[in-house]
Amino acid sequence: MDVVLSGGLQYLLPKEAKGGKREDKENLVDVLKGRGYSFITTRDELLALESGKVWGAFAPDAMAYDIDRAKTAPTEPALAEMTGKAIELLSGGDKGRGKGFFLFVEGSKVDWAAHANDPAGLVYDLLAFDEAVYAALEFAKKDGNTLVVVVADHGTGGITIGTKEDKNYSQTDDDSVLVPMRRARVTGEGLEKLLAGDSSEQAIKDVLAREWGITDLSAAELKSIQETIAGKKQLQAVVGPMLSVRARLGWTTGGHTGADVFLFAYGPNRPTGLWENTDVGRAVAAAMGFDFESLNQRLFVEAGEGFAAVGLEARLDKSDPANLVLVVSKGAAQATLPLAKNLLILDGKTVELEGIVTYAEKLDKVFVPRQAIELAAAGL
């Protein structure tokens, strides 16, 4: 991977470092820098990049909703900015110019907002995703040989205009929905950050009036918000329905839905019509010149069988639960493969593999790239 832009900084740092959460004591920020990545944490740093590999971690955990950024995370870039810069770097690099590139862009918090039945988060992050799609399409139209596929893995929430509880459903018009929605300046998650643990009645009423235009909180709604804050629980799923009912929006669930999702595509050999979801992935793979069956045989070989076939023994060393290691041996000679990494250590030398050493915990089996088996067979 040459370009990674996301949140999740705390998962790159060990617990011993400020803000870190890793149990294995490894500082992956240092690892990334050692592998030639520019490591960045702000929008300004992103926009200033002109070339090279980059890893951006713009938030400790998840990045902010787009509508919240200005007030709660002003140093984070927008999804469209990340998309545009990623395309610029990938298409302008030597590999991109020679063979093209694959870029995956996710508008992930559309789903989160729908789980919470928060229409502000849903609408504004979907609009942010739409701007990212526009950036991709602009490049594809100029390039003339780029396939753009836009699809969801599932629906969430089952949002509807109107609800069976709304006695005025038959009189619902555009303004009934749009006026309350246009008053929303942040998401439910944004409200929680702005309240910052203050559960006083005045603070709650002030923030909801200012940020959502809600001035008629009921006693039950106020109590629900206060109890959620006092219990240090997430507020979004509590306040989201409060905005929804005022905008005459209904939801069928707080989970996933079974409806077909939309499929949009542009470019050469684009998929159109009704597709089985897994076939979309096969179409993308075909556009890049490979198939999953041969790729699986190359990158995911069951270690026990694979090494045994070339006369080697393999065992999983679990002595350090935070750093599992596959040990491959022939007599006294050994090679080691740390799990969740693409490294083979043999005779004091470390070789980077073309795939990851993967542990399927429920099967208690390790899978390795075939390259690892070939290298171990030659070196042991």
Question: pLDDT tens digit string along 241-250?
Answer: 999 999 999 9
218-233: pLDDT as tens digits: 999 999 999 999 999 9
pLDDT at 87: 97
Q: With the CA atoms of 235, 237, 241 and 243 taken in that order, what torsion angle do they form, in degrees rounded to the nearest 10?
A: 50
Q: Which residue range forms the structural domain that includes residue 239?
A: 62-287
pLDDT of residue 20: 96
Radius of gyration of the chain (CA): 25
Q: Which of 287, 322, 339 is the last residue of a domain?
A: 287
Q: Report residue 67: phi and psi, to 5°.
A: -70, -20
* Eight-state DSSP code of residue 205: H
CB atoms within 10 A of CB 299: 18
In this prediction, residue 264 carries a pLDDT of 97
d(CA 294, CA 56): 32
Residue 96 reports pLDDT greater than 90? no
pTM reported for the whole predicted model: 0.91
Q: Answer whether residue 169 is part of any domain.
A: yes
Asked if 58 and 8 count as a contact pair (C-beta separation under 8 A), the reply is no
Does the structure show a pLDDT above 90 at 276?
Answer: yes
**Boundary-marking domain end, from 257, 287, 317:** 287
- Residue 22 is given by DSSP the state B
Considering the domain architecture, whether residues 170 and 123 belong to the same structural domain is answered as yes
The total number of structural domains in the chain stands at 2
pLDDT at 94 over 90: no
Q: Minimal CA–CA distance to 234: which of 201, 202, 195, 200?
A: 195
75/198 same-domain check: yes
Q: What is the pLDDT of residue 17?
A: 92
Is 343 in the same domain as 278? no
What is residue 112's predicted lDDT score, i.e. its pLDDT? 97
Residue 212 falls within a domain, yes or no? yes
Whether pLDDT at 239 is above 90: yes
Q: Is the pLDDT of residue 98 over 90?
A: no
**Residue 24 maps to a domain:** no
Q: Is the pLDDT of residue 44 over 90?
A: yes
Q: What is the pLDDT of residue 80?
A: 98
CB-based burial of residue 259 (10 Å sphere; 0-12 exposed, 13-18 middle, 19+ buried)? Answer: exposed
pLDDT in tens, 339-358: 999 999 999 999 999 999 99
pLDDT band at 168 (very low <50, low <70, confident <90, very high): confident
**Same-domain check for residues 189 and 130:** yes
pLDDT, mean of residues 154-172: 87
pLDDT at position 162: 86
Q: What is the pLDDT of residue 361?
A: 93
Q: Find all residues with CB under 8 Å of 269, minimum gap 6, and list them.
A: 147, 283, 286, 287
Which of the four pLDDT bands, split at 50, 70 and 90, describes residue 273?
A: very high
Do 76 and 120 share a domain, yes or no? yes
pLDDT in tens, 60-80: 999 999 999 999 999 999 999
Residue 211 has pLDDT above 90, yes or no: yes
Q: Are residues 375 and 314 in contact, defined by beta-carbon separation less than 8 angstroms?
A: no
CA dihedral in degrees (292, 298, 303, 308; nearest 10)? 130
Q: Which residues of 300-334 are buried (b: 16+ CB within 10 A; e: fewer)?
A: bbebeebbeeeebebebeeeeeebbbbebbbeeeb
If asked whether residues 96 and 156 sit together in one domain, one would say yes
CB burial of residue 50 (10 Å; 0-12, 13-18, 19+): exposed
The answer to whether position 20 is within a domain reads no
User: Of 122, 112, 214, 190, which Cα lies nearest the Cα of 159?
Assistant: 122
Query: Do 261 and 187 share a structural domain?
Result: yes
Lowest mean pLDDT among 32-36, 187-191, 288-292: 288-292
Percent of the chain with pLDDT over 70: 100
Q: Which tokens is 166 given?
A: 């709304």
| Main-chain dihedrals φ then ψ at residue 346, nearest 5 degrees | -145, 130
Whether the predicted pLDDT of 363 surpasses 90:
yes
Q: How confident is the model at residue 55 (pLDDT cuts 50, 70, 90)?
A: very high
Contact 143, 91 (CB under 8 A): yes
**Residue 67 sits in the same domain as residue 155:** yes
Last residue of a domain, one of 287, 312, 340: 287
Whether 165 has a pLDDT exceeding 90, the answer reads: no
For 263, the enclosing helix (H) or strand (E) is strand 263-266
C-alpha 229/C-alpha 290 separation (Å) is 51
- The yes-or-no verdict on residue 170 having pLDDT over 90 is no
Q: Which among 129, 131, 134 has a CA at the least distance from the CA of 109?
A: 129
Mean pLDDT for the stretch of residues 317-332: 94
Same domain as 162, residue 118: yes
